[in-house]
Structure 1
Amino acid sequence: MNTTDRTPADLLRSALAGDAGRPLVTWYDDTTGGRVELSVATLANWVAKTANLLRDDLGAEPGDRLALLLPAHWQTAAWLLACASTRVIPVIGGDPGDADLVVAGPDRLEEARACRGERVALSLRPLGARFPEPPEGFLDYAVAVPGQGDVFVPDEDQQPGDAALVVDGIGWTAGQVVEDARVEAAEMGVGPGDRLLSRLEWNHRRGLFAGFWAPLAVGASVVLCRPGVPIGDEVLERRRETERVTRVVE
C-alpha cells in the first residue's frame, strides 16, 4: 500500500514494489474442490499478458468500453487490472450490444454474441484451461494469452480523472475507484496484512469493492469462494483457519 496511489494501475505497481511474493488472490471452487492461489507477482504477470492481448491483438484503445461478463474469479481480477493498464473501461455485466468488445464466461456466450467488436471467451476451468471445443466466433483466452509478453509498457499511464469502471450502471473515474476502495476497507476494518474471505459476486458495487479493490488498496489479500455454492459451517470454519482469514464478507 502506498498513500500516494491515485489509480488502480498505481495500486498494482505499489503491491509489486512491496512484497511481490505474498498471496494476493486465492480462489476456491467448491463445485470441483479446486483451489488457485496467485501471488502479487503472478497476478501481475497475468495482467501484463492480458493487457498486451487487449492492446496489440484485440486493438483496444483508451476509452473503449469492455462488457465484462465474468463472475467473481481470479481471472476477472486480471481483466480488471489489464483494463486499468490499457485505460479501457470495464462495464461489469454490461450490454454487449453497446460495447466495443466483450469478455464472457462459458454461461454467457450467447448473450455476448450481440457484441459487434472483438469477443473473448473464458472457460473458467481449473488452472485457466482452454475450452475442450473452441466456441465459434470467440477468441479462447486460454489459447491466446500464454504467448503474450510478460511485460506491458503502457502508451500512457492511467490518470485519476480517466473513466475507469462502470458497475451498477454508475461510472467511476480511476481516482474514485481508489478513494472508494479505501473507504470500503476502512468500513470493514481491513488493513495491511489482513486476509479477507468473500462469498459475494462482483456484479454489484459492494461485492466488487469489498472483494477486490479494497484489499488491493490497503495491502490486504482476498480469499474468494465461488458465489452461490453452499458451504457448510464446518468447511467454512476450517477454511478460515487454514487461510488465516481475519475478515469475512457475505
Structure 2
Amino acid sequence: MSGADDVPALLAGGGAAAETDRPLLTYCDDATGERTELSVAALAGWASRTAGLLHEGCGLGAGSRMAVLLPPHWQTAAVLLGAWSAGLSVSFRLAATAGLPAYGPGDDEPLDAVFVSRRRLDDWLENVPDARHRFVLGLTPGTTTMAEVPAGYRDYLAEVGRYSDSLPAYASIGQTDAASVDGTTFREWGSVALETAGMLDLRPGDRLLVDTAEHEHPFKWLLAPLAVGASVVLCANLDPTTVAARAAAEQASHVLG
C-alpha cells in the first residue's frame, strides 16, 4: 500500500483477495453471538456506498475533515475506507484517549463530519466534536437501522443504503494529500501500514486474529493486513481462555491478543 490510489484499488479486488468471494474481514462478538463475514467485493460495496454518502450526499471530498469515534468493527472499516476513497482527512478518537479535549494539531478547526457509535455518544457526549454532518452507528448485529436516533444525528445504516456499491470516479487523490487531520499524508500512512505488517510478520494469504479490546488503532487491524494481502478476524468481547481455540477454528495464522 503506497498511497491513496491504492485504497480503491485494494477494494476493487487487488491486494488481499484475488478470490473475491473469500472472507477478507470477519467480525465476531462473543457477547451477542454475531458473526459477519465480508468478502473483498462486499467490503468494497460498503466502502463505495460510504464514499457516495460523503461525496454526493454531504458534498465532501479532498480537503474535508472528519472524526471517527468508533471501535474496531466491520462498519468502522466501511466508514474509514469510504472516507479515504472520497479523499477525506480522518481523525480518530480511541477509547484510551477519550478524555483528551483535542484530536491533534489543527483539530481545533471545524470538522465537516463525525461518525460515532451510540455507546460512545452516550459515554462521551461532551467530548464529541461538532460537525456539519453527524452520523451515529448502533453497531448491533446485522444491518438493522436504529429504532430511535439521537437528536441532531442521522443513522448511518439508514443513509448509506441509498448510494451505489460501485465506486464513482472522484477527483484524483495525491499521495501527498492529507489522510489524517494532523497532516499525515496517504503515502506516509501507507509506509506505516507496511512497517506495521512487517513487525507483525504478515504476508499475502495470512489470516490475522485481533482482540478488539487490546488493539483499537486501524493501523493494526485494518491497514496492515490490507497492505500485504492478508485477511483479518476481529473478535469483540473475546474470552482470553478461548483464544487458541478461536484461532484454530478461524484458521488464523497470526494472533494479535
User: So what's the TM-score if we normalise by structure 1?
Assistant: 0.87
- Matching residue of 2:83: 83
Q: 1:36 to 1:96 in 2, by over 3 A?
A: farther
- Matching residue of 1:245: 252
Write the distance in 2 (CA, Å) between the matches of 1:212 and 1:89. Answer: 17
User: Paired residues, what number?
Assistant: 241
- Matching residue of 2:100: none
Write the distance in 1 (CA, Å) between the matches of 2:126 and 2:27. Answer: 26
Aligned residues with identical type, % of pairs: 36
The root-mean-square deviation of aligned C-alpha atoms, in Å, is 2.5
Write the distance in 1 (CA, Å) between the matches of 2:53 and 2:228. Answer: 28
| Higher RCO (Cα < 8 Å, 6 or more apart) | 2
Write the distance in 2 (CA, Å) between the matches of 1:248 and 1:231. Answer: 14
Please list, as runs of the form range in 1=range in 2, the aligned pairs for 1:65-214 lying within 5 A after superposition.
Answer: 65-93=65-93, 94=103, 98-109=110-121, 110-111=125-126, 114-166=129-181, 171-200=183-212, 207-214=217-224
Write the distance in 2 (CA, Å) between the matches of 1:36 and 1:83. Answer: 22
- Matching residue of 1:53: 53
Aligned-residue offset at 1:202: 8.9
Write the distance in 1 (CA, Å) between the matches of 2:11 and 2:44. Answer: 7
After superposition, the C-alpha distances for 1:143-177 in whole angstroms (9 at most, x for unaligned) are: 111121121213213221110125xxx54211111
Q: Is the 8 A contact 1:8 1:177 kept in 2?
A: no
Aligned letter for 1:101?
A
Aligned-residue offset at 1:50: 0.7
Give the number of the structure whose residues are more often helix, by fraction. Answer: 1
After superposition, the C-alpha distances for 1:100-126 in whole angstroms (9 at most, x for unaligned) are: 211110023334764141101111111
Q: 1:180 to 1:78 in 2, by over 3 A?
A: same
Aligned-residue offset at 1:137: 1.1
Write the distance in 2 (CA, Å) between the matches of 1:20 and 1:121. Answer: 29
Q: 1:218 aligns with which of 200, 217, 228?
A: 228
Return 5+ residue gaps in structure 1 as ranges: none
Q: Is the 8 A contact 1:24 1:38 kept in 2?
A: yes
User: So what's the TM-score if we normalise by structure 2?
Assistant: 0.85
After superposition, the C-alpha distances for 1:172-224 in whole angstroms (9 at most, x for unaligned) are: 211111111111111111101100011145986xx321211010010100001
Partner-residue secondary structure (3-state), 2:189: helix
Write the distance in 1 (CA, Å) between the matches of 2:162 and 2:74. Answer: 19
Write the distance in 2 (CA, Å) between the matches of 1:190 and 1:203. Answer: 16
Write the distance in 1 (CA, Å) between the matches of 2:81 and 2:214. Answer: 14
Larger mean CA deviation between 32-41 and 106-115 belongs to 106-115
Write the distance in 2 (CA, Å) between the matches of 1:69 and 1:101. Answer: 11
Partner-residue secondary structure (3-state), 1:240: helix
Q: Is the 8 A contact 1:71 1:202 kept in 2?
A: no
Aligned-residue offset at 1:10: 3.5
Q: 1:114 to 1:219 in 2, by over 3 A?
A: closer
Aligned letter for 2:170?
D
After superposition, the C-alpha distances for 1:14-64 in whole angstroms (9 at most, x for unaligned) are: 248822222111111121111111001000000111110111112213111
Return 5+ residue gaps in structure 2 as ranges: 94-102
Write the distance in 1 (CA, Å) between the matches of 2:64 and 2:3. Answer: 27
Q: 1:183 to 1:32 in 2, by over 3 A?
A: same
Q: 1:20 to 1:77 in 2, by over 3 A?
A: same
- Matching residue of 2:32: 32
Q: 1:4 to 1:99 in 2, by over 3 A?
A: closer
Write the distance in 1 (CA, Å) between the matches of 2:109 and 2:158. Answer: 25
Write the distance in 2 (CA, Å) between the matches of 1:111 and 1:11. Answer: 37
Write the distance in 1 (CA, Å) between the matches of 2:8 and 2:60. Answer: 17
